């Protein structure tokens, strides 16, 4: 691209700098809808808009659309329109999007393994203050 050499040296990957790519990663997958979409498509392959809508419980139409557009922009999924009578739109993870599944799985594993501990800790913490 056209990155000036200026922001290469000092910047590298400093998660603590506001300009770090890592921060933008959180924008991409840090919100629940985005991650849920990724996981849904990862687990079940291509899905239609309505399928995603049903599958991901609680998401509003606006948020779903907005999330999908964002992920498409990021190159994590593709949007395919089939101009049939009732329009049909399919969403599918790109190869890039698929690579996200791995790290996500690790997080998922962590959650499944340790959330009970977190819950216990929360209870204990809240107890003190009661």
Partner DNA sequence: CAGGATCCTCTATGATACTG
Partner DNA sequence: CAGTATCATAGAGGATCCTG
Nearer Cβ to DNA (25/48): 48
Rounded CA gap, 94 and 100, in Å? Answer: 10
Element (H, E) at 118: helix 101-129
Q: Please, which of residues 84-103 interact with DNA by CB under 7 A?
A: 86-89
Q: Which of 11, 30, 80, 82 binds a second copy (CB under 8 A)?
A: 30
For the chain, the straight-line distance linking the first and the last C-alpha, in angstroms and rounded, comes to: 56
Residues 5-64 that bind DNA (CB under 7 A): 31, 33, 48-51, 53, 58-63
Q: How far apart are CA 2 and CA 10, in angstroms?
A: 17
Answer yes or no whether residue 121 interacts with DNA by CB under 7 A.
Answer: no
107 contacts a second copy (rule: CB under 8 A): yes
Integer Cα distance of 101 and 111 in angstroms: 15
Q: Which string of x and - marks every residue 42-81 that binds a second copy (by CB under 8 A)?
A: -------------xxxx-------------xxxxx-----
């Amino acid at each position: 691209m056209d990155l000036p050499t200026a922001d290469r040296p000092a910047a590298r990957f400093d998660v603590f700098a506001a300009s770090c790519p890592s921060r933008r990663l959180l924008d991409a997958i840090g919100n629940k809808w985005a991650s849920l979409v990724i996981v849904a498509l990862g687990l079940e392959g291509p899905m239609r808009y309505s399928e995603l809508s049903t599958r991901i419980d609680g998401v509003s139409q606006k948020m779903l659309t907005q999330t999908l557009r964002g992920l498409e922009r990021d190159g994590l999924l593709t949007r395919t329109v089939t101009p049939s009578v009732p329009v049909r739109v399919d969403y599918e993870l790109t190869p890039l999007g698929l690579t996200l599944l791995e790290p996500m799985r690790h997080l998922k594993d962590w959650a499944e393994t340790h959330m009970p501990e977190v819950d216990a800790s929360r209870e204990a913490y809240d107890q003190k203050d009661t």
